[in-house]
Amino acid sequence: MEIIVVALIIFSIILHEVAHGYVADWLGDPTARYEGRLTLNPLPHIDMIGSIIVPGIAVLAQSPFLLGWAKPVPVNPYNLRWGKWGEALTAFAGPATNILIAVGAAFLIRFGVLPTSDAIVELILLLVSANISLAIINLLPIPPLDGSKIVAALLPSGLYYKYRELENLTYALGPFGLILVLIIIIQFLSAPVGALIFSIFRLLTGL
């Protein structure tokens, strides 16, 4: 069961990244397409730490929310139409995809579309929970999460550039930057984030 759950999380993470790439391509940046990242083949997207180890630990530890990431889809913001708004829209595409997956999967549960198999229902519920987690965590306004680009677009020019400097610092740290962000979330935000995820889960599934 744990292997299937991790596979579902990996697939959700990959869809998240592919959505970034497709929106960026639509907005004028073909970088992801040229690098072969607009594909559901998991191999170009897999990050050993973020796609395998972190989700596996979260599942085995029965974390209140499920974590993970793939290799970021390359985006050149200078190619995007609409400037910082194009970058914000590209960033939002990933969490929006996870929200759509969660809503679609919850629909199957809520309206009894699935066979009455406890195992299948449990897997779908985990899919809902995983995608809500991915959406909410990625929407947090903490660089380099997607939410930081959305918030940055709303800031005046002076604050925008300072905020982007902080984001560039986290990118310079590589995977350790993301791990640091996850530590901050777990240490300081786990209770409110977990409560929000649970509330949305109940709202969608009716459970």
The tens digit of pLDDT for each residue in 12-53 reads 889 999 999 999 999 999 999 998 899 888 888 887 777 777
Spatial CA neighbour of 182 closest among 49, 68, 14, 51? 68
Closest by CA to 65, choosing from 131, 139, 13, 142, is 131
What is the residue range of 188's domain? 2-205
Closest CA to 132 of 42, 187, 183, 203: 203
Distance of alpha carbon 136 from alpha carbon 111, whole angstroms: 24
* 178 within 8 A of 144, measured Cβ to Cβ: yes
Tell me the CB-side half-sphere exposure of residue 152, using CA atoms within 13 A: 27
Cα gap 121→106, rounded to integer Å: 10
Q: Please name the residue that has the structure tokens 């198999």.
A: 117
Digit-coded pLDDT (tens) for 119-134: 788 888 888 988 998 9
Name residues whose C-beta falls within 8 Å of residue 10's C-beta, 6 or more positions apart in sequence: 42, 46, 51, 52, 55, 68, 70
Structural domain count, the chain: 1
Find where tokens 């947090």 sit. 140
* CB within 8 Å of 129: residues ≥ 6 apart: 65, 66, 197, 201
Average pLDDT along the chain: 83
User: What does the DSSP 8-state code read for residue 144?
Assistant: T
Q: With bands split at pLDDT 50, 70 and 90, how would you rate the model's confidence at 104?
A: very high
pLDDT at position 1 is: 60
Q: CA 200, CA 207: separation in Å to the nearest integer?
A: 11
Mean pLDDT of 189-205: 87
Write the CA distances from 26 to 65, 79, 142, integer angstroms: 32, 11, 26
How many other β-carbons are positioned within 10 Å of the β-carbon of residue 119?
Answer: 10
Cis (ω within 30 of 0) for the bond into 144? yes
Which tens digit of pLDDT belongs to each residue from 144-155? 789 988 998 888
